[in-house]
């Protein structure tokens, strides 16, 4: 017998069958791979953009204002008319600002992008002037001069407990969309910004000095800017929190806290009462950035408070985000469905072409399941190749979409790669089900007779 | 007289209303070479398919190596084909994207474990030691049929079923394949070979002649 030379290849026959079939008969398999690559490219692009758009839109929404209001649990009802709080300075319950750093220790602390404490006190403007000359108003009881001083932080450094460093926050973070002429006050100065309506009524300009009175306490403030928010702030004076605390005698205290948090849209699950959830459901709810679960975490961290979502903001955001994401999912589904149909078409033709090959395998003693596994293995091999190509192409498409539609480059999310490969395998499997059934049920004798 | 390896007892097979085999009975001893002859449509291939476990008789029994092939379940029939039968087809039926040695290994894989060295040895035995890594499209018809022969022999089957194995070959290649079959017969293999050729039929120990699905004659060849 002649000496036989052969190449030693450790691959199993199963792998050889699949890879040799792919490399030596590539034409129709290329069609399937391209269909899968196109479908997964669109899926990659839409999922990348959808995931980024959620964050991006949520951050944009946050420029419109806070979405959570924290008030003392036992507070009296506010008595606001036209933005003016008519409650006596010493009525109601107050909260301590010393605890505010705790907000950055909750489970979803990174989603808390800002907060600002507020202390509103009714005041009267007694005089206004330039430098050392103040002109008193003839009638200090004139209702036009009665207003609210809103004490808050513009940009304040809050120490975070447990070595969390310092968190800079205030209305600069919670309300970056407020328009101001001039500049904001410094939190440690006797400065204020005036609401545009109030400034117009009192003919007060930036740079002037105001003298105000709250009960017997008086203060002088330099106007650094005129603010226009479209809300009750337009009729008020906004000043550093410490000034409001001094005028009201409530050092280190505030009455209301507005918090800006990044959340995911509410859904049926998030709206369930947590008390009705089993432990697994509760964990899932608690570990999801729903506005309700974050509210709960804030309430746990700041005892004695009530946390309520600002519904108009939260619900509007939720609806827009839900619709954008639903659109993205729809596009993804349509792309994958089209890919599955293309796979089904080519797989059906392939099975017809390879009837004799399948019949031969069965004649040689291959079990039906093994023949099915060969066929499905080929489809999955193409799914992996197509999925990888689709992921790379989809990244480029997402970059273009993100730049042109949202003006931002989506971040690379490697977590999407296994998801996309899984989707490609699922699409390949779904598209192959009918041809696979035909392969497994094929009767070899007629096929080998050429019938 | 050796024990019968194959017992065909009163076998009939109908397709729809057409009777392809009609009460055929014969026996084949171990080591015999039987030629099955007859005109087209006489039931030769149907008989081979029933003995090979690719088809089931409508009535009667086909017993091969003690197994009643017609009553085997799907799983047992698959094992039967892998372990007891070596098929050789007129159209070779090689997997086009697998090399010669891989085509032989395929039969090993379905039987038990693929062994490349053994598959290469089987190809060398049919004179294709230098064609191991050629694709079927790179081989002549005769070489392809020899690959099919190597594939049929690799699992040491009890029974070789050859359905017009030289039907697609030129004369030179036909002689090569027939010489291999003679060699197999001499080494004790049991062969059932379907052929139209009287010359090939006379090489066998016996000829079974079918017509219209019926067994007409069993003729013993004198050597």
Beta-carbon separation of A449 and B45 below 8 A: yes
A295 and A369 housed in the same domain: no
Q: How many domains does chain A have?
A: 2
Q: Which domains does chain B have, with CATH numbers?
A: 4-220 (3.40.50.300)
CB contact under 8 A, A17 and B96: no
Residues A51 and A199 in one domain: no
H or E element that contains A60: helix A26-62
Is the distance from CB of A120 to CB of A149 less than 8 angstroms? Answer: yes
For B115, counting Cβ atoms within 10 Å of its Cβ (0-12 exposed, 13-18 middle, 19+ buried), the class is middle
Distance CA A344, CA A428 (A): 8
Chain A residues lying within 8 Å of B135, measured CB to CB: 24
Question: For chain A, which residues lie within 8 Å of any Cβ of chain B, measuring from their own Cβ?
Answer: 1-9, 12-14, 16-17, 20-21, 23-25, 356-357, 359-368, 370, 444-445, 448-450
Domain end: A276, A309, A342, which one?
A309
Distance from CA of B186 to the nearest CA of A (A): 18
Domain boundary among A284, A309, A334: A309
Are residues A276 and A231 both part of a single domain?
yes
* Domain-terminating residue out of A253, A285, A309: A309
Alpha-carbon gap, residue A372 to A433, rounded angstroms: 10
The Cα A366–Cα B22 span in angstroms is: 30
Q: Which of A447, A346, A336 is nearest to A25 (CA)?
A: A346
Residues A267 and A354 reside in one and the same domain:
no
State the CB neighbour count (10 A cutoff) for residue A202. Answer: 18
Tokens of A332: 């993804």
C-beta atoms of A20 and B121 within 8 A: no
Contact between A366 and B110 using a beta-carbon 8 Å cutoff: yes
Show the beta-strand stretches assigned E in A13-152: 68-72, 80-81, 84-85, 95-96, 112-130, 133-136, 146-152
Which parts of A196-267 are beta strand (E)? 209-214, 217-228, 237-240, 253-254, 256-261
Rounded Cα gap, residues B161 and B85, in angstroms: 7
| Tokens of residue A156, six digits | 């304040």
- Smallest CA–CA separation between B78 and chain A, in Å? 5
User: Do the Cβ atoms of A4 and B120 come within 8 Å?
Assistant: yes
**Domain carrying residue A390:** 13-57+319-448
List the beta bridge partners of residue A211: A127, A220
pLDDT in tens, chain A (451 residues): 343 434 444 457 888 888 888 777 787 788 899 999 999 999 999 888 877 766 666 666 766 678 888 988 876 556 666 555 566 666 668 888 888 999 898 888 888 989 999 999 988 888 887 755 556 666 656 666 788 999 999 999 999 998 888 999 999 988 888 889 999 999 999 999 999 988 888 788 899 988 898 888 889 999 999 999 888 888 899 999 999 999 998 999 999 999 998 888 777 888 888 889 999 999 999 888 888 899 999 988 888 888 988 866 666 766 777 787 788 889 989 999 999 999 999 889 888 888 999 999 999 999 999 999 989 999 999 999 999 999 999 999 988 887 887 677 788 888 889 999 999 999 999 999 999 999 999 999 888 877 7
Mean pLDDT by 10 residues, chain B (223 residues): 84 92 95 94 93 94 94 93 93 92 94 91 92 94 94 93 90 89 92 92 94 92 69
B188 touches chain A (CB under 8 A): no
Nearest CA to A177 out of A252, A226, A230, A102 is that of: A230
Residues A335 and A370 in one domain: yes
Residues in chain A within 8 Å Cβ distance of B69: none
Q: Is residue A113 part of a domain?
A: yes
Q: Which residue blocks in A164-276 are alpha helix, DSSP H?
A: 171-174, 196-202, 241-248
- Nearest by CB: A448 against B93, B106, B114: B93
Q: Is B52's Cβ below 8 Å from some Cβ in A?
A: yes
Residue B35 to residues A110, A372, B53, B130, B150: CA-CA distances in angstroms? 84, 36, 19, 32, 20
Which of A5, A20, A365 lies nearest to residue B82, judging by beta carbons?
A365
Q: What is the 3-state secondary structure (H, E, C) of chain B?
A: CCCEEEEEEEEEEEECCEEEEEEEEEEEECCCEEEEECCCCCCHHHHHHHHCCCCCCCEEEEEECCEEHHHCCHHHHHHHHHHHEEEECCCCCCCCCCCHHHHHHHHHHHHCCCCHHHHHHHHHHCCCCCCCCCCHHHCCHHHHHHHHHHHHHCCCCCEEEEECCCCCCCHHHHHHHHHHHHHHHHCCCEEEEECCCHHHHHHCCEEEEEECCEEEEEEECCC
Q: Which of B98, B114, B117 sits opposite A20 (nearest CB)?
A: B98
- Comparing alpha-carbon positions, the chain A residue that sits nearest to B53 is A363
- Contact yes or no for A2 and B124 at CB 8 A: yes
């Amino acid at each position: 017998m002649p000496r036989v030379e052969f190449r030693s290849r450790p691959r199993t026959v199963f792998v050889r069958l699949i890879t040799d079939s792919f490399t030596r008969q590539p034409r129709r398999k290329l069609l399937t791979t391209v269909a899968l690559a196109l479908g997964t490219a669109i899926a990659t692009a839409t999922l990348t953009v959808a995931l980024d758009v959620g964050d991006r839109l949520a951050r944009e929404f946050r420029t419109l204002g806070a979405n959570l209001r924290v008030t003392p649990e036992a507070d009296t009802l506010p008595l606001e008319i036209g933005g003016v709080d008519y409650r006596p300075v010493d009525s109601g319950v107050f909260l301590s600002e010393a605890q505010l750093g705790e907000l950055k220790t909750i489970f979803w602390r990174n989603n808390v992008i800002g907060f600002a404490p507020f202390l509103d006190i009714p005041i009267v403007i007694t005089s206004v002037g330039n430098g050392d000359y103040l002109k008193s108003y003839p009638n200090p009881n004139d209702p036009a001069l009665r207003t609210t001083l809103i004490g808050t932080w513009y940009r304040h450094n809050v120490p975070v407990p447990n070595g969390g460093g310092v968190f800079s926050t205030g209305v600069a973070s919670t309300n970056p969309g407020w328009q101001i002429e001039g500049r904001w006050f410094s939190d440690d100065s006797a400065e204020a910004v005036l609401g545009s309506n109030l400034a117009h009524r009192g003919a007060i300009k930036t740079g002037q000095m105001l003298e105000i009175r709250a009960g017997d306490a008086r203060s002088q403030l330099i106007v650094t800017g005129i603010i226009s928010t479209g809300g009750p702030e337009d009729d008020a004076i906004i000043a550093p929190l410490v000034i409001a605390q001094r005028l009201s005698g409530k050092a280190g205290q505030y009455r209301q806290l507005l918090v800006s948090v990044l959340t995911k849209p509410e859904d049926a699950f998030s709206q369930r009462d947590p008390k009705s959830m089993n432990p697994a459901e509760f964990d899932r709810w608690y570990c999801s950035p729903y506005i309700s679960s974050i509210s709960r975490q804030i309430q746990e961290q700041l005892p004695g408070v009530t946390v309520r979502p600002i519904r108009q903001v939260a619900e509007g955001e939720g609806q827009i985000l839900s619709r954008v994401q639903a659109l993205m999912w729809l596009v993804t589904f349509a792309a994958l469905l089209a890919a599955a149909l293309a796979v089904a078409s080519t797989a059906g033709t392939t099975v017809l072409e390879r009837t004799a090959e399948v019949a031969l395998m069965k004649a040689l003693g291959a079990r039906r399941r093994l023949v099915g596994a060969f066929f499905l293995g080929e489809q999955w091999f193409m799914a992996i190749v197509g999925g990888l190509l689709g992921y790379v192409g989809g990244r480029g498409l997402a970059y273009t979409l993100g730049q042109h539609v949202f003006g931002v480059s989506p971040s690379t999310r490697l977590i999407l790669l296994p998801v996309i490969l899984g989707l490609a395998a699922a699409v390949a499997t779904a598209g192959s089900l009918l041809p696979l059934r035909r392969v497994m049920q094929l009767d070899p004798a007629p096929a080998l007779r050429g019938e | 007289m050796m024990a019968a390896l194959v017992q065909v007892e009163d076998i009939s097979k109908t397709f729809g209303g057409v009777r392809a085999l009609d009460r055929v009975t014969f026996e084949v001893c171990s080591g015999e070479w039987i030629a099955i002859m007859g005109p087209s449509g006489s039931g030769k291939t149907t008989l081979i398919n029933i003995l090979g476990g690719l088809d089931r008789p409508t009535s009667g029994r086909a017993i091969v190596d003690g197994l009643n092939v017609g009553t085997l379940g799907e799983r047992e029939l698959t094992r039967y084909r892998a372990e007891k039968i070596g098929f050789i087809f007129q159209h070779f039926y090689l997997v086009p994207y697998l090399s010669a040695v891989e085509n032989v290994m395929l039969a090993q894989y379905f039987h038990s474990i693929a062994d490349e060295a053994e598959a290469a040895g089987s190809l060398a035995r049919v004179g294709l030691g230098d064609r191991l890594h050629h694709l079927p499209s790179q081989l002549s018809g005769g070489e392809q049929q020899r690959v099919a022969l190597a594939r049929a022999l690799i699992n040491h089957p009890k029974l070789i079923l050859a359905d017009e194995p030289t039907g697609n070959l030129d004369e030179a290649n036909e002689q090569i394949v027939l010489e291999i079959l003679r060699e197999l017969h001499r080494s004790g293999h049991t062969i059932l070979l379907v052929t139209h050729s009287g010359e090939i039929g006379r090489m066998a120990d016996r000829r079974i002649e079918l017509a219209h699905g019926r067994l007409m004659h069993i003729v013993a060849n004198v050597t």
